[in-house]
């Protein structure tokens, strides 16, 4: 397993190109199952999660090619049952459920296991599909959904902590081919849902209100092939912005969408960063005195849970007490104990992490545990004095395209150490 070896203390300087969004492209790849015609998706990031989803589509019988960021999919002959075991290995692939149900009128997938950040239930996904007329059976670790036909319905998808992103994606995709009108209430408002809806509408779907809590879908008989360019990855952009502030550098985020980053940029300013909007890019500068910050993660357009770990790393550098409260997932503080190995002072009190920042961090070997926790460890290592080795960076490769190369281009002393 590969590691990153980082020698901290270098302010990041220069320009980084933001890749296509992982959390937009995964549901969009699932959506290509809704038509037998060819779909072409551009600005697809080179990530292991994308490779994995391509494997799943191929296991279902689709022809899939991925060259230089362009993905071509032709799901003409869908086989009944693909290698559904793969679902358990990557939760994001649960969003094949809706398209397969809509296209084949049945689907059987392994239940996505939990992961380090939480139990990751799919009750809202199943509630939505049942509302459209699907029968749901769960047995021996698999969930099977089937329906002779799908009927448009009013579906309330709000859960105990708010909307579900992939749940909204699943119901949205199934509803495109249902008979009649579906109204999804308490839908997720993330930009990735808007991007999926744009792709589905390009395929001939009739979707209105994506990005708002109420989405209306008028079912159509069938969908045709389409071309689409994926939106930039707001979490990758936020991660590099946090690294710029943490190292006291100045980074131009080429292609970043400031309209997707409102809450993140607000908190980066509050902690002491300087953010400038330019045409087609954002410049984020550190270098000043950092100030403590209070953050609570919320559904979009609130502060994103996927940026919580990265801002915790920055808060460790800000003299004073920061309080970071995680409201979306039940255990998303795995990075805290590893940050403490670098000298951070963090106390976990229920859903909140109390960070006593300001003491300089010093490099040490640390263990990545999940995608965004790993990003936090890289940020802290870039700011710490001395050497930091981040182990198990395969977590990072799931969601960041060639992160070490992008950081090297910004002047960071970071290298990938191949593991056994």
**Residues designated catalytic:** 115
Q: Which CB, 225 or 333, lies closer to ligand EPZ?
A: 333
* Sequence-distant contacts of 332-336: CB under 8 A, at least 24 apart: 332/117, 332/118, 332/305, 332/308, 332/370, 332/372, 332/373, 334/116, 334/117, 334/369, 334/370, 334/373, 335/309, 335/369, 335/372, 335/373, 335/374, 335/376, 335/377, 336/312
DSSP 332-361: --HHHHHHHHTT-EEEEETTEEEEEE-SPP
DSSP 367-402: E--SHHHHHHHHHHHHHSBSEEEEE-THHHHTTSTT
Take residue 292 and report the two structure tokens written for it.
């403590």
Q: Which CB, 305 or 322, lies closer to ligand EPZ?
A: 305
Q: Work out whether 23 is an interface residue with ligand EPZ (CB under 6 A).
A: yes
Stretch that binds ligand EPZ, among 35-43, 157-165, 202-210, 404-412 (CB under 6 A): 157-165
Q: Measured from the CB of residue 235, what is the shortest distance to ligand EPZ in angstroms? A: 6
Take residue 41 and report the two structure tokens written for it.
């998706």
d(CA 212, CA 298): 15
Candidates 10, 12, 26, 197: give the one binding ligand EPZ (CB under 6 A): 26
**Residue listed under structure tokens 């879908």:** 217
Contact positions with ligand EPZ (CB under 6 A) in 318-377: 328-329, 371-372
Candidates 88, 120, 206, 341: give the one binding ligand EPZ (CB under 6 A): 120
Q: Work out whether 165 is an interface residue with ligand EPZ (CB under 6 A).
A: yes
Candidates 36, 86, 136, 161: give the one binding ligand EPZ (CB under 6 A): 161
Q: Which CB, 8 or 232, lies closer to ligand EPZ?
A: 232
Stretch that binds ligand EPZ, among 116-124, 193-201, 272-280, 288-296 (CB under 6 A): 116-124
Asked whether the beta carbons of 398 and 235 are under 8 A apart, the reply is: no
Q: Work out whether 159 is an interface residue with ligand EPZ (CB under 6 A).
A: yes
Q: Which CB, 131 or 328, lies closer to ligand EPZ?
A: 328
Q: Work out whether 123 is an interface residue with ligand EPZ (CB under 6 A).
A: yes
Q: Work out whether 44 is an interface residue with ligand EPZ (CB under 6 A).
A: no
Burial 55-64, CB ≥16 within 10 A → b, else e: bbbbebebeb
Q: Measured from the CB of residue 244, what is the shortest distance to ligand EPZ in angstroms? A: 20
Candidates 122, 132, 171, 368: give the one binding ligand EPZ (CB under 6 A): 122
Q: Measured from the CB of residue 257, what is the shortest distance to ligand EPZ in angstroms? A: 16
Q: Work out whether 238 is an interface residue with ligand EPZ (CB under 6 A).
A: no
Rounding to the nearest 10 degrees, give the CA dihedral for residues 336, 340, 346, 348: 40
Stretch that binds ligand EPZ, among 143-151, 158-166, 281-289, 386-394 (CB under 6 A): 158-166
Q: Work out whether 89 is an interface residue with ligand EPZ (CB under 6 A).
A: no
Q: Which CB, 370 or 404, lies closer to ligand EPZ?
A: 370
Q: Work out whether 193 is an interface residue with ligand EPZ (CB under 6 A).
A: no
Q: What are phi and psi of 122, to 5 degrees?
A: -125, 25
User: What number of chain residues touch ligand EPZ (CB under 6 A)?
Assistant: 25
Q: Work out whether 155 is an interface residue with ligand EPZ (CB under 6 A).
A: no
Candidates 25, 29, 53, 166: give the one binding ligand EPZ (CB under 6 A): 166
* Sequence-distant contacts of 211-216: CB under 8 A, at least 24 apart: 212/187, 213/163, 213/185, 213/186, 213/187, 213/189, 214/183, 214/184, 214/185, 214/187, 215/168, 215/172, 215/183, 215/184, 215/187, 216/181, 216/182, 216/183, 216/184
Q: Work out whether 399 is an interface residue with ligand EPZ (CB under 6 A).
A: yes
Contacts with ligand EPZ by CB under 6 A lie at: 23, 26, 91-92, 118, 120-125, 159-161, 164-167, 305-306, 328-329, 371-372, 399
């Amino acid at each position: 397993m590969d590691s990153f070896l980082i020698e901290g203390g270098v302010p990041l300087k220069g320009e980084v190109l933001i890749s296509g969004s992982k959390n937009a492209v995964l549901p969009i790849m699932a959506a290509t199952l809704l038509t037998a015609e060819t779909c072409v998706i551009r600005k697809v990031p080179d990530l292991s999660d994308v490779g994995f989803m391509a494997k799943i589509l191929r296991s279902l019988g689709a022809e899939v090619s991925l060259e230089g960021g362009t993905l071509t999919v032709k799901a003409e002959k869908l086989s009944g049952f693909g290698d559904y075991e793969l679902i358990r290995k990557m939760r994001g692939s649960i969003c094949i459920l809706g398209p397969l149900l809509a296209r084949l009128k049945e689907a059987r997938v392994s239940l996505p296991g939990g992961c380090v950040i939480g139990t990751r239930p799919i009750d809202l996904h199943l509630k939505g599909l049942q509302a459209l007329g699907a029968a749901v059976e769960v047995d021996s670790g698999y969930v099977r959904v089937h329906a002779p036909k799908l009927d448009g319905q009013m579906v309330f998808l709000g859960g105990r902590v708010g909307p579900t992103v992939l749940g909204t994606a699943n119901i949205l995709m199934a509803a495109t081919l249902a008979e009649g009108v579906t109204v999804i209430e308490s839908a997720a408002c993330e930009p990735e849902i808007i991007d999926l809806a744009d792709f589905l509408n390009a395929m001939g779907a009739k979707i209105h209100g994506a990005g708002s809590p109420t989405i209306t879908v008028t079912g159509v008989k069938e969908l045709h092939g389409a071309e689409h360019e994926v939106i930039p990855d707001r979490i990758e952009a936020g991660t590099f912005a946090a690294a710029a502030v943490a190292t006291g550098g100045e980074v131009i985020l080429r292609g970043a969408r400031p309209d997707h980053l409102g809450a993140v940029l607000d908190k980066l300013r509050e902690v002491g960063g300087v953010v400038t909007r330019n045409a087609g890019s954002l410049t984020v500068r550190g270098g000043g005195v950092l100030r403590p910050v209070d953050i609570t993660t919320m559904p979009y357009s609130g502060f994103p849970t996927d940026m919580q770990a990265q801002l915790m790393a920055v808060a460790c550098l800000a003299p004073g007490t920061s309080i970071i409260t995680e409201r979306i997932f039940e255990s998303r503080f795995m990075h805290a104990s590893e940050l403490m190995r670098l000298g951070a002072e963090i106390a976990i009190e229920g859903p909140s992490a109390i960070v006593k920042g300001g003491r300089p961090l010093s490099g040490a070997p640390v263990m990545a545990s999940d995608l965004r926790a790993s990003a936090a460890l890289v940020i802290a290592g870039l700011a710490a004095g001395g050497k930091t080795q981040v182990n198990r960076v395969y977590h990072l490769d799931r969601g960041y395209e060639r992160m070490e190369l992008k950081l090297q281009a910004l002047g960071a002393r970071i290298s990938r150490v191949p593991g056994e």
